[in-house]
Amino acid sequence: MIMDTGAVRAVEVREDRRETLFNLMQKYLYEMTRYYPIAMGEDGNYIYKYLPLYFREASRRAYFFYARETLVGFALINDYSFTGEPTDNSIAEFTIFPGYRGRGYAGAAVEALRALRPGSWQLKYSPENEAGARLWQKVKKRYNGVEQALSDGHVAISFF
């Protein structure tokens, strides 16, 4: 599936691009170690045990984001609820690559995901990630989201 919002296209990651996603996730996970305890394996790669499931389970999908023909980010979407309330879609991982941030791609990427996957949404973020917090607060405002403090010190946002 592909969704083009004008500024950003969300393209489902197929099996033949799995290695590309793995490589990009390594850079992303390195960045996220500032906010989350992410283990590194003996091979020097960060461990993300759920990645294979995004190519096997119907409730999980990975998407690349493109601005024109340039790959600018990715997201992993599933139906896990951070709050215990039912949700159709949950943003497990989301990034716009550092060189493309500040151009409005993140908001356009969220819009492309919503167009591809209608229904309720949740996401969780670390307040320590100030740039991420600013993005998710904009998303909360744009979609009249509801915020909930979680027991682990993170924040969940639910929206439609």
Question: In order of start, what are the domains of the chain with their CATH numbers?
Answer: 2-159 (3.40.630.30)
pLDDT, one tens digit for every residue, the chain (160 residues)? 666 556 899 999 999 999 999 999 999 999 999 999 999 999 999 999 999 999 999 999 999 999 999 999 999 999 999 999 999 999 999 999 999 999 999 999 999 999 999 999 999 999 999 999 999 999 999 999 999 999 999 999 999 9
Q: Give yes or no for a contact between 2 and 11, defined as CB atoms under 8 angstroms apart.
A: yes
pLDDT tens figures, 42-65: 999 999 999 999 999 999 999 999
Residue 104 falls in which region: left (phi positive, over 0), alpha (psi -120 to 50) or beta: left
Residues 6 or more apart whose CB falls under 8 angstroms from that of 111 comprise 5, 8
**Cβ-proximal residues to 25 (8 Å cutoff; 6+ apart), any chain:** 46, 48, 51, 74, 93
List the structure tokens of 112: 């492309």
Residues 15 and 53: their CA atoms lie apart, in Å, by 11
State pLDDT tens for residues 26-46. 999 999 999 999 999 999 999
Tokens 């091979």 correspond to 43
DSSP 52: G
